[in-house]
Structure formats: C-alpha cells, structure tokens
C-alpha cells in the first residue's frame, strides 16, 4: 500500500482529501464534474467511432478498391483498432506523465481530424491505410490522457460510475456510424465518406471545448512534491507494478482479441457466409452495441461502486461464453446471431473493458499512471493487430471453429479476472496498492483525510 500523509486545515482542525476536486467532496456530483468527465470520455467516442465506421465501410471498400482478404487483415491490423493505436498509447501515456495530462489535448484531436479527412478523400487502398494509421496514433495518445483525468478527478464513492460514463460514450460512438450506415446504405461509395466526415466534425468541436480543461491537480501536486519521480520507465517495469501490468494485460488483452475480431470483422464475416442482408448485418451490430450500452448504464454504473466487482465479472463471463455456444453448434441465421449479440453485449457491458479502464487507473501511482495505461493499452492493441494478421488462417478452419476459439478466450480472460480482481471499491487512490490483487473485499477505509504521496 502506498505511503500516505495527512493534510490538516488549521482553521477548523478538520482533515480533508486534497486529491479531490473542490466541487466533488460530498456525495453529489457537480455539473462541472460531469462536464469534465464527458469531455474526457469523448476519447472513447472517437476511438470506437473510427473502428466501427471502418467496419461498416469495409464491405464497400473491398468492392470499390478491389482488395482481398489479405489487405483487409492488413488494414485492420494497422488501423485505430490495433497497432497504430497501440503505438500512440505508448507515446501519449509517457507524455502525460512527463509533461501533464492536458498536453495531449492541445494537438491530438487536430491530427485525428486530419487523419479522418484523409480517409474521407481516399482514392486508393494505401490512402485508407495512411489515414487510419494517423487516426490510430492520435486515438491511442488520447485514451490514457482521458482515462487518467477521469480517475484523478473522480471522488472515490463514484469513481466506477464516472469511468462507466466513458464506456457509454464508447458505445455511442459505435452506434452513430451503424445507424448512419443503415440509413445511407443506398448511397454506395459515398456512405463511408459521410461516416468519417461526422467524426471530423465531432473531433474539431471536442478539441475546442477541451481547451478550457485545466491540468490535473493530482498530477501537479505530485510533480511539485517529487519533481524527478516517475521519469524512468524501469520504475514501472520493475517491482510490484509488474504484477498489476501482467494481470490487466492478460485479462483485458485476451478479451480484446475477441472484441476486436468481433467488432471490426462482424459485418465482413456475416457478409462472407451469406447469412444476412447488409442492413440486417448493421442492425445486428447496432443491437450488440445498444445492449452493451444499456448494460453499462443500467447494471454496471449503478452497481460498480456498491457490489463486488468480482461478482460482476463472474456474471459477465458466463453471459459472454453462453452467447457463443450457438455459433459453435448451429448454422448462422439471423435468430442465432441475435441471441449472440444480446448476450455478448450485456456481458461485455459489465465486464472486462469497463473494469480494465477502472483498475488501470487505480492500481498505479500518479506519476506512472498514464505511462502504465499507455503500456497496457499499447500491448493490447498491438497484440490485436498481430492476431488480425493471423485471422485469415483461423477463418479457413470454419466459422464454428472461430467461435470455439473466441469462447475459449472469453473463458480464460474471465478466470484470470476473477482470480486476481483487486479490492478497490470505495477507496481513495492513496489507499490502493498493487498488493490488492486477488484480495477479498473488506470494509473501505475513510473516504476523507488522505492525500496521495507518490511512491516511486
């Protein structure tokens, strides 16, 4: 557990938690708290929006530019879904810890806007690849900055709920291109350009609004107290931090192989097996993301700060594994696919992705927090890129075989998460350490009278 120190108000004799924002010291959440959370959560919108816009556009791009399954895998591997986002996270996370969380916000969305415009006006497959690589780099840099800001500005009693808000925006970002894809399918090759054009508009508006966000007070205080702390990556990659890194990468990384395959290739796979019409394919995927968003809003957010997170992950794993059983034994029809998307969606909403965002911010000290998230996000997305490059080989074994592999991955991810779920619910960041992995729940300590003093 990290060292702690007390800060006492001389005027009143009361101790206060100086890591908290001034407007979030009681049980309520202020309008300003929600505003900052939503602006940070837009990182998830632009991430998922770029991934799903590409997924919707993929069948049309395949016909328009005439590339085959090998280029499809290459595009998926180096898109914002995978390798480029991983590289961006590695770079951006380190910048956040060395220069501040807000530093990323000055430029990243402008580069993102340039990347999506490049895709809008693409005239060849290589242009799609270049645009997606730029988009991925900026998305990857934005995610650790935004997740860290949410973690460091949220009060302990609502940290899970506010982190869940970011997940809501991830799924909103997926629904917009799917709904537009259904409505604009008749426009042919113009439809993908519109999908990415709306991301350009959202990115520019978000960039402008973010310029009013102030630097994290937690990071500023930590740098003042320990100006040289966190400057060496060996501090993160050695000692107790490695255990948390391995746990989170394994739990979330294995799950993300399933989600990345499912999300980017779902329309392409169903189109290839001839199971549905294009509109039905997009509708099924929209139902998946909608069911996930509803699970986050209706189950995860109300419960995550009140019940065992290990229990949430257990139920999540059961639902997700059951969802893939029909794909293993039955022919793919609309009804079978509908069963899969609803159960997988609900299970995903209360499971690995939401908990990874939360735990990845809680288990590391301030001056290494974004670096840790960047390393983990980077490894996970780069691994997904490698998996996507191998996917054509896996697909040759048959759709039921692919479904079996995905179900096995979900089982392994769930078992890892359940075994090592940390006990962090309702506790201040200063009370949490990497030794919490696998700990049984206990009564949370006082929600006040603590300030984080960084251990490096």
pLDDT per residue over 315-332, tens digit each? 999 999 999 898 888 877
Instruction: Identify the pLDDT of residue 229.
Output: 67
pTM of the model: 0.81
Minimal CA–CA distance to 188: which of 98, 278, 126, 259?
Answer: 278
Query: Is residue 28 domain-resident?
Result: no
Average pLDDT, the chain: 81
- Burial of 217-243, coded b for 16+ CB within 10 Å and e otherwise, reads ebbebbbeebeebbeeeebbeeeebee
* Residue 438 falls in which region: left (phi positive, over 0), alpha (psi -120 to 50) or beta: left
Q: How many domains does the chain have?
A: 1
Structural domain of 254:
38-215+230-439
Query: Is residue 134 domain-resident?
Result: yes
Query: Is residue 221 domain-resident?
Result: no
Query: Is residue 238 domain-resident?
Result: yes
List pLDDT tens digits, range 244-283: 999 999 999 999 989 877 766 666 666 655 656 777 777 7
What CATH number corresponds to the domain at position 98? 1.20.1250.20
CA distance 359 to 367: 16
Report the pLDDT averaged over residues 37-41: 91
Query: Is residue 135 domain-resident?
Result: yes
Instruction: Identify the pLDDT of residue 275.
Output: 57
- Burial of 368-402, coded b for 16+ CB within 10 Å and e otherwise, reads bbbbbbbbbbbbbbbbbbebbbebeeebeeebbeb
CA distance 182 to 179: 5
Between these two residues, 330 and 197, which has the higher pLDDT value? Answer: 197
Between these two residues, 324 and 445, which has the higher pLDDT value? Answer: 324
Query: Is residue 450 domain-resident?
Result: no
Query: Is residue 345 domain-resident?
Result: yes
Statement: residue 97 has pLDDT above 80: yes
Query: Is residue 451 domain-resident?
Result: no
Name every residue whose Cβ is closer than 8 Å to that of residue 240 and which is 6 or more positions away in sequence. Answer: 433, 434, 435
Which residue is listed with tokens 């793919």? 332
List pLDDT tens digits, range 355-406: 999 999 999 888 889 999 999 988 988 888 788 777 666 667 677 788 888 8
Residue 268's Cβ-count burial label (10 Å; 0-12, 13-18, 19+) is middle
CA distance 95 to 104: 7
Instruction: Identify the pLDDT of residue 5.
Output: 37
């Amino acid at each position: 557990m990290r060292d702690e120190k007390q800060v006492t108000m001389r005027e009143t004799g009361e101790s206060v938690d100086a890591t908290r924002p001034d407007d979030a010291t009681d049980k309520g959440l202020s309008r300003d708290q929600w505003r900052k959370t939503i602006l940070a959560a837009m990182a998830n919108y632009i991430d998922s929006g770029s991934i799903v816009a590409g997924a919707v556009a993929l069948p049309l791009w395949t016909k328009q530019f005439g590339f085959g399954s090998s280029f499809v895998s290459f595009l998926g591997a180096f898109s914002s879904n995978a390798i480029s986002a991983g590289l961006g996270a590695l770079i951006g996370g380190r910048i956040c810890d060395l220069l501040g969380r807000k530093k990323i916000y000055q430029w990243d969305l402008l580069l993102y806007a340039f990347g999506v415009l490049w895709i809008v006006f693409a005239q060849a497959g290589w242009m799609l690849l270049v645009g997606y690589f730029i988009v991925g780099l900026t998305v990857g840099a934005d995610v650790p900055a935004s997740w860290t800001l949410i973690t460091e500005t949220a009060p302990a009693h609502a940290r899970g709920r506010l982190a869940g808000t970011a997940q809501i925006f991830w799924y909103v970002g997926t629904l917009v291109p799917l709904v537009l894809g259904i409505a604009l399918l008749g426009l042919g090759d113009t439809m993908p350009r519109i999908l990415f054009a709306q991301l350009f508009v959202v990115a520019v508006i978000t960039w402008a609004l973010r310029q009013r966000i102030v630097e994290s007070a937690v990071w500023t205080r930590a740098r003042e107290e320990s100006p040289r702390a966190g400057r060496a990556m060996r501090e993160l990659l050695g000692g107790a931090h490695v255990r948390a890194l391995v746990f989170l990468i394994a739990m979330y990384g294995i799950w993300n192989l399933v989600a990345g395959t499912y999300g980017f290739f779902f329309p392409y796979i169903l189109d290839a097996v001839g199971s549905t019409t294009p509109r039905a394919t997009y509708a099924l995927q929209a139902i998946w993301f909608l069911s996930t968003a509803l699970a986050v809003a209706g189950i995860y957010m109300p419960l995550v700060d009140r019940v065992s997170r290990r229990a949430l992950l257990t139920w999540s794993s059961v639902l997700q594994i059951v969802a893939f059983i029909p794909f293993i034994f039955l022919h793919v029809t609309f009804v079978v696919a509908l069963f899969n998307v609803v159960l997988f969606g609900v299970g995903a909403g209360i499971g690995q992705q939401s908990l990874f965002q939360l735990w990845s911010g809680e288990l590391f000290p301030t001056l290494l927090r974004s670096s840790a998230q960047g390393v983990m996000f980077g490894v996970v997305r780069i691994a997904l890129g490698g998996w996507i490059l191998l996917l054509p080989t896996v697909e040759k074994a048959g759709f039921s075989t692919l479904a079996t592999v995905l179900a096995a991955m979900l089982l392994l991810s769930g078992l890892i998460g359940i075994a090592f779920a940390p006990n962090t619910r309702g506790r201040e960041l200063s009370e949490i350490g990497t030794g919490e992995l696998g700990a049984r729940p206990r009564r949370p300590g006082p929600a006040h009278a603590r300030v984080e003093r960084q251990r490096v």
